[in-house]
Amino acid sequence: MKPLSKSMLTISHQYGSGGSRIARALGRRLQWTVWEKEIVRKIASQYKVSEEYVDAKDERVDSFIERMVGLFGMGGFESAYEIPPPLWLTDAQLVRMTRAIIEEVAKDGRAIIVGRGGNHILAGRPDVLHVFIFAPLAVRIERVVQAEGLTRAAAEARVTGMDRLRADYVRTFYHADWLDPLHYQLLIDSGVWGEEGTTELILRALEQLS
């Protein structure tokens, strides 16, 4: 592969479209770092909270704490997550932390940011290619059934629920429509191309833009 003019990728993806695995495959092929759950780990480490707590709030808006308090009661929530109230993260705080990490990663480049509004945080940078990976609902449900061992009904609920959470996250914090193609430079249907084909298309796009 010839030298690339793009030094970073952001990958947004519908749940069940294979976006996470495609990002990992690209990271291996390009020898770039992949930032997905790594962002969760870094926030948890920096702010001395559990990864489970950050992960449960990640790319979600509000209501997480309300749901947990409703399930466990205030004391139950604190003991379940071992987090004293002063260290609870609001959604806005978590978004600011995420932005700071992504902007820091962008200084060195050679990285892939998965989700988390990365395309909005790095919008306008000429060295970043913004990709959106999607697939028909039926294809995504079948993939989740196979990968996660869920019933078809449970898989559909998870797929549609995760899509809704991601759309709410982007709308709330970036005032944008998650599915709007104007926020991306390359959109790929992984239901047509498969994960390997989608990986190859993104690599080809990077080469063409060099």
Which pLDDT does position 146 carry in this prediction? 92
User: What phi and psi values does residue 178 have, to the nearest 5 degrees?
Assistant: -55, -35
pLDDT tens string 34-69: 988 777 777 767 665 555 554 554 444 444 434 433
Q: Which CATH architecture has domain 8-208?
A: 3-Layer(aba) Sandwich (3.40)
- Alpha carbon distance 189, 199 (integer Å): 11
Residues in the chain: 210
pLDDT tens string 162-183: 888 888 888 888 999 999 999 9
Q: State pTM to two decimals.
A: 0.79
CB 89 within 8 A of CB 125: no
* 11 three-state secondary structure: strand
Over pLDDT 70: what percentage of the chain?
75
pLDDT tens string 71-98: 334 343 333 334 333 345 677 777 888 8
